[in-house]
Amino acid sequence: MKQKKVWVNGTFDILHRGHLELLEYAASFGDVRVGIDTDERVKDLKGDDRPFNTYKDRSYFMSRINGIDSVVSFDGDDELCEQIKEWNPDYLIVGSDYKNKEVIGSQFAKEVIYFDRVGDYSTTKILSNESISNR
């Protein structure tokens, strides 16, 4: 039986429990490819003080997580869409905060699955020293 293909993407700047649970969930469906925003894209989206970790480090961390089969970068919406189209995933897994929003590349996946946020984990909160509730 052919293994299902799964796509997940994000910045993954400071890995936290929410990221790991999302990735574990994705791996339960099949072979996981993770798309990671380039450093330039993160700066454009989140400001000049981000990313905290470089793309090289973020991709290294991601590639060492059990269940992650491959890691690629993307620098914009068009490149993200092309990467998803090329991977041709069975499942595109995104955070539930994207319900009722456009999910880039969703037309190239057989199914979009929404993953419920774990607590209020957030890289932004971690970097600003805000307390995080795991409930």
Question: Is residue 29, in this structure, part of any structural domain at all?
Answer: yes
Dihedral sign, Cα of residue 89, residue 94, residue 100, residue 103: negative
CATH number for the domain including 37? 3.40.50.620
Q: How many domains does the structure of the chain reveal?
A: 1
Question: Is residue 55, in this structure, part of any structural domain at all?
Answer: yes
Report, as an integer, the average pLDDT of 81-94: 97
Contact 23, 68 (CB under 8 A): yes
Print burial letters for 90-100: b (CB count within 10 Å at least 16), e (below 16): bbbbbeeeeee
94 Cβ contact partners less than 8 Å away, ≥ 6 residues apart: 8, 103, 112, 113, 114, 115
Is a pLDDT exceeding 50 seen at residue 27? yes
Is a pLDDT exceeding 50 seen at residue 116? yes
Q: Which amino acid is at 130?
A: E
Q: 49-61 pLDDT, tens per residue?
A: 999 999 999 999 9
Is a pLDDT exceeding 70 seen at residue 122? no
Question: Is residue 132, in this structure, part of any structural domain at all?
Answer: no
Please tell me the total number of residues recorded for the chain in this structure. 135
Show the domain range for 90.
5-125
* Mean pLDDT of the chain, nearest integer: 89
